[in-house]
A and B are shown apart, each in its own frame.
Chain A
Amino acid sequence: MQRRTLLIRGCQAIAAAIMAVLFVPIGRFISAPLFRKSQSSSGAQRVAKLGQLEVGKPMQVPIIGKRQDGWTLYPDSVIGKVWLIRRNEEAENPEECKVDAYSAVCPHIGCGINHSPDKNHFICPCHGAVFDEQGAKMNLEEPGYNNPSPRGMDSLICKVVNSDDGDDFWVEVEYEQFQIGLSEQIKK
């Protein structure tokens, strides 16, 4: 009986060892997406010439960057959209030029935010979140309207810089992605 128990324990030990060699790697392989770093920031990039922007009139520009999709690297892919609003007429000293940039991703559930020129506000077509010219949450004077967005539009770091030949100005935006559904702005 002693021998029988010993043999059974031996079988079990071998089976357990083999299972470990098999299932630990399987677990690591399957759980890999959990530990992959997201590359949401692509650094500052030039998105428009200053001259293209009219004061007070928002313009949407795409953010172009590298996008790694599993095994494929898209070298020039649209990785996001940004609303630009030029705030003053200044066109001499780049440091005095004021341009604001807001991510077009709605903080509510991630839809793309549109701009309504008639009403002069931003509106998300999915669930009707509305934002004013400063990107802040606003409430419409409509009965029963309740703004679903937990926070205002996400503002991005935006600068005006000289072009390489010095005759022109570029608007430079540092694009970031933020977590949706939170009242705080937290980077993804």
Chain B
Amino acid sequence: MLTNFKTWLNDRTGYQKMLGLYSNRVLPNGPSWAATTASCMLWMFVVVLLTGLVLLSSFSPSASSAWASVFYIEQQPAGSFLRGLHYFGAQALIILFGLHTMRVLLSAAFRSPRELVWITGLLLIPLLMVWAVTGNPLPATQKGYAQIDVEANILGSSPVIGPFARQILIGGDSVGNLTLTHLSFLHMALLPLIVISLTIFHIWQMFRHAPTDKELPPEMVEGAARYWPDQSIRNWSVFAVVFGIVAWLAYTVGAPLELPADPELHHIARPEWYFLFLFELRRYFPPELEIIATMVIPTVAMIFLLLLPFIDRVCSQRASAILRFVIVAAFAASWTWLTFTSLNRDWNDAELQASRLEEEKLRERVHALADAGIPPEGASFLLASDPKIQGPILFERHCASCHSHVDENGEGIAAKEQKAPNLYGFASRDWVKTVLDPEGWTAEHMFGNTELAESDMSYGVVDGLPDVAEDLPKLIAALSAEAELPYQVDQDTADADIIAEGLEFLQSEDNCAMCHKVYDAGENGIGPELTLYGSRSWLRDFISNPAHDRFYANDNNYMTAFAPDRNHPERNTLDEKSIDLLVDWLRQDWYEPETPAVTTDEKP
């Protein structure tokens, strides 16, 4: 039945003749391990194509959604593994390409009649490089954006057509939506078409010039063997090992997904490891001659290699062997030296390493936030709207000239000149306790360096209040509860009774309400309003305008009003969003992923 079908199919298609090209090949010198590079490359190419095709089904090439869609792929069953196969497979392909080219050079397999096999193979080198370059920025990471920006500028610096080519590649002046659609077009449509066509031509020519058993019956020549299966088993064994390494890397390490692109982020761009040699080479030329490293040397080397079959013809056997050996040795040595010099320099660059470490922290945070859902604005919005990330940046820029933000271990942001209180844990019970204590109030890190060091609070006005000794803990709990701090919510709920009593104390006009407005009790004018003290709305209003009647009123000569004019936001120092971020950060009100139960057996 099957045999009948095969016969019928062969009658119609002639496929056995096609297969025969493969299986009837003979190897005049017998099977070899070195010759496995070709088949290894072909199959790795198929793996990269297949995984790329599958990834394409869930990828969205748009500035606001590319990162999110790649993150989504990572969350899907086997998504991370497939992306890892694509990522490491492509790098394995680059290594195999280098090895294959060197082997062909050493064995002089480019000689007549295989000149075109050699030339088409060589043309695949720049294509493969462009393929990698167009793939890396696709997830719209900050790293990818920085890389394509630099690479496009290198392209732009080439003579005559450079600026135009750059403009077309990027799709405008800066990297964005059009860059991603252009890169997708190149990476997923144009390059695959060209590379597949060249590869088919390359293999077809190679089969055409390969000896078959019609010319060379293997039993007649000593040491000869059939390609199938003597060479095939070697090919498949080596490919199994290479694929195994790639799959293992994909499974254990996986493809990275760095920080989403955000113009606010500072990223020190470096090319991928396989381009480091060109990056390093560039250093040895003065800026005006940089083009020699980035363009001239690679182009000249390429042209020389393309012409090699013809140069080789005029050389003697001995000269050819020396030439070929020198090319391979020179390339291998210079590539290795340049790459490792560059790696070594980066490794010893403290600024670069610190920046990478900082990015790694941010990356972990962004991944945690993305786990909870990426909004329609895209992944960079996660960074921009996260109080935990933006809070310290805003604080350092706008508040740290006078305020510090230092926790009990002494870690945090120090004031440039401590002129105002340490705002760590603002409105928490500890904070309120310190403020109500005259010694705490006048401490250096609290109001000691402000004009408020002379206020009634510093003279122990609280200690003079009736029944204060007994009621102070209640007062502290009640005032702190006004802030509704998320990290204190359990305590506040548990102490609801104490807080209710404390609130009565606060509202009594013999006590706090003598000088502060507390809900309906008391009046504004002396001390700041204590209704909802330290809450979101209180803090937001305070930072916007501490000179408001509710706070320091006209006495305010302590603190900048950051957004006093609500009707004209453009006149304010800070916009509402930044103030909200600062407020949420001060209140430690940010998203934290629910951590799975941590094993506690690590205790010392």
Contacts and interface: CB of A to CB of B under 8 A. Distances in A.
Contacts of A29: 54, 76-79, 82
A161 to B, nearest CB: 23
A50 B481 CA distance: 34
Interface of B is mostly: helix
Nearest to A31: B77
Interface in A59-110: 66, 68, 70-75
A11 B373 CA distance: 46
B449 interface: no
A32 interface: yes
B551 interface: no
Interface string B219-232: 00000000011101
A72 B68 contact: yes
| Size band of the interface chain B makes with A | 35 or more
A92 B146 CA distance: 65
A71 B240 contact: no
Interface string B278-295: 000000000000000000
Contact of A30 (B57, B68, B230): B57
B462 to A, nearest CB: 34
Contacts of B247: 21
A18 B374 contact: no
A7 B233 contact: yes
A68 B373 contact: yes
Interface residues of A, number: 27
A72 B65 contact: yes
A71 B236 contact: no
Given A4-B229, A29-B82, A75 B375 contact: yes
Interface string A1-30: 000100110110011011001101110111
Nearest to A29: B78
Contact of A73 (B54, B229, B230, B373): B373
Contacts, number: 80
Nearest to A14: B236
Given A25-B82, A70-B72, A75-B375, A32 B77 contact: yes
A11 B229 contact: yes
Contacts of A10: 229, 233, 236-237
Contacts of B236: 10-11, 14-15
B239 interface: yes
Among A66, A71, A74, A75, chain B packs the most CB atoms within 10 A around the CB of A71
B78 A21 contact: no
Contact of B374 (A14, A21, A72): A72
Contact of B237 (A14, A68, A74): A14
A8 B231 CA distance: 11
A11 B77 contact: no
Interface of A: 4, 7-8, 10-11, 14-15, 17-18, 21-22, 24-26, 28-30, 32, 35, 66, 68, 70-75
Interface of B: 43, 47, 50-51, 54, 57-58, 60, 65, 68-69, 71-72, 76-79, 81-82, 85, 228-230, 232-233, 236-237, 239-240, 243, 247, 373-376
9 contacts: A7-B233, A10-B236, A22-B85, A25-B81, A26-B82, A28-B77, A71-B60, A72-B375, A75-B375
Given A14-B236, A17-B240, A26-B51, 14 more contacts: A10-B233, A11-B229, A15-B236, A18-B43, A18-B239, A21-B247, A26-B50, A28-B78, A32-B79, A70-B58, A70-B72, A71-B374, A72-B375, A74-B376
